[in-house]
Amino acid sequence: MIEKTVAELSAALRRKEISSVELARLFLERIDKYKDLNAFITVDADRTLSQAKASDERLARAANNPLTGIPVAQKDIFCADGWLTTCGSRILSNFVAPYNATTVDKFNQAGVVCLGKTNMDEFAMGSSNETSYYGVVKNPWNPALVPGGSSGGSAAAVAARLAPAATGTDTGGSIRQPAALCNLTGLKPSYGRISRYGMIAFASSLDQGGPIARTAEDAALLLNVMAGFDPRDSTSVDEPVPDYTQSLNNDIKGLRIGLPKEYFSQGLNPEVMKVIESAIAEFNKLGARVVDVTLPNSQLAIPCYYVLAPAEASSNLSRFDGARYGLRAKDYTDLLDMYCKTRAEGFGAEVKRRIMIGTYALSAGYYDAYYLKAQKLRRLIAEDFRKAFETCDVIMGPTSPTTAFRIGEKSDDPVAMYLNDIYTVPTNLAGLPGLSIPAGFDSRNLPVGLQLIGKYFDEARLLNVAHRYQQVTDWHNRIPPGFDE
């Protein structure tokens, strides 16, 4: 059963080949067996099995949602009523959520079973899942390597077959980059497509939730449940939600694939480039054609992002002060001392770094020089994409400039770490949908991800293009050595 996709497990549940309880037990046992990966922060077997039992009862009544009874792991950034919700931080290490995020509510309504809360970079700040208070997550393809971040726990869990699928969040590439490094399909929808209510904020104008799964078909099934307008989220867009599975098999003959020259320049690992070129050749065989496009401001996306995202983080994280919930320092003299000591003890180094950068960028005398200028550049980056889509339907390129790197390799060089997101950050700045799919392996047998970028709310096309590619390739079916038992 661990080899089956979400779609295949859904069919097996309906044919009564296995029950939801049996399926949940199977994955709970694997979570315990491979706990050295450190993919999960919180597991509650009793709660999970209780949900599975309720799902079996729904299945007995012929439940019509394809996800009923399917176990899914939740990134520990989504509030879930009664579950410890930590955001990978010490400052929330005792916070039990009193309500559900909209995404969690929608999964519950569909009869999805929660396997637990997955490990993540602290407050989603990181590209390697090394900043979590709960320790480093290991890549199932090589435990000495990072799985990518910040949704590294979710990616490691799905790659190692500890869960059929998982949720993630993407502020600058945190779904797509770990999906690429772990040989998975990861989708960042258009900004506003999925509600952010109950999803603990890092950078409010950039954060977006999305699915991590093995196939585009599975991602479509999850997106069908997750997408939709939410009046509780002021950034949610009231846009019709299609059935993303209906267009998966559409012909892509004549599809115009835009290749940005900026994505195939200095800094891209030659082995990664070779894999991406081979993947694009497969699309040519399917009838698509390549056109050259340019995104001239994309090279400035990283400095732009690392002004705007920390600025928003500085504001969002000010609520964590020990006064209302979460950690509170034990020894302090007055209110200000409590604030200072609580935040000093509760936040990790990377979170502190970004809060300080953001506070500086927003301070008097520097706002115009940094924050305002970055906002103007953000608009130019979005305009680059608009012009590119005048001549193409989908933009393709690498998800990450390299394959997975060693744990600790870039910990002392924040800039080198930030550059891992050079191909993913622009889509967040523009609010566009982006999808990473498995495209092959390098000489060390490490996965390479191909990124697809679409027009606003064009997730259905991205999933269709990815699905057609996965019908003629088998990269997405590869399993890390030692995890096929």
Residues 6+ apart with CB under 8 A from 189: 208, 209, 210, 223, 227, 433, 459
Geometric angle at alpha carbon 69, from 178 and 95, rounded to 5°? 60
Label residues 109-126 b or e (16+ Cβ within 10 Å = b). Answer: ebbbbbbbbbbbbbbbbb
| CB 4, CB 12: distance < 8 Å | yes
Which one from 75, 117, 188, 410 is the annotated catalytic residue? Answer: 75
Which one from 10, 132, 154, 174 is the annotated catalytic residue? Answer: 174
Token code pair at residue 222: 């999850």
Backbone angles phi, psi at 390, to 5 degrees: -70, -20
- What is the end-to-end Cα distance of the chain in Å, rounded? 10
Which one from 10, 150, 154, 436 is the annotated catalytic residue? Answer: 150
As a three-state string, the secondary structure of 364-422 is: CCCHHHHHHHHHHHHHHHHHHHHHHCCCCCEEEEECCCCCCCECCCCCCCHHHHHHHHC
Q: What residues pair up with 166 in beta bridges, in sequence order? A: 73, 212
Query: Using CA atoms, how far apart are residues 148 and 153, in angstroms rounded to an integer?
Result: 9
- Nearest Cα neighbor of 439 from 159, 181, 223 is 181
User: Is residue 75 flagged as an active site residue?
Assistant: yes
User: Is residue 138 flagged as an active site residue?
Assistant: no
Residue with tokens 């609580």: 342
Query: Using CA atoms, how far apart are residues 320 and 140, in angstroms rounded to an integer?
Result: 33
Query: Using CA atoms, how far apart are residues 469 and 216, in angstroms rounded to an integer?
Result: 10
Query: Using CA atoms, how far apart are residues 54 and 162, in angstroms rounded to an integer?
Result: 21
Kindly state the DSSP code that residue 142 receives in the 8-state scheme.
B
User: Is residue 132 flagged as an active site residue?
Assistant: no
- Nearest Cα neighbor of 462 from 472, 454, 470 is 454
Query: Using CA atoms, how far apart are residues 225 and 205, in angstroms rounded to an integer?
Result: 23
- Nearest Cα neighbor of 9 from 68, 54, 53 is 68
Q: Which residues are catalytic?
A: 75, 150, 174
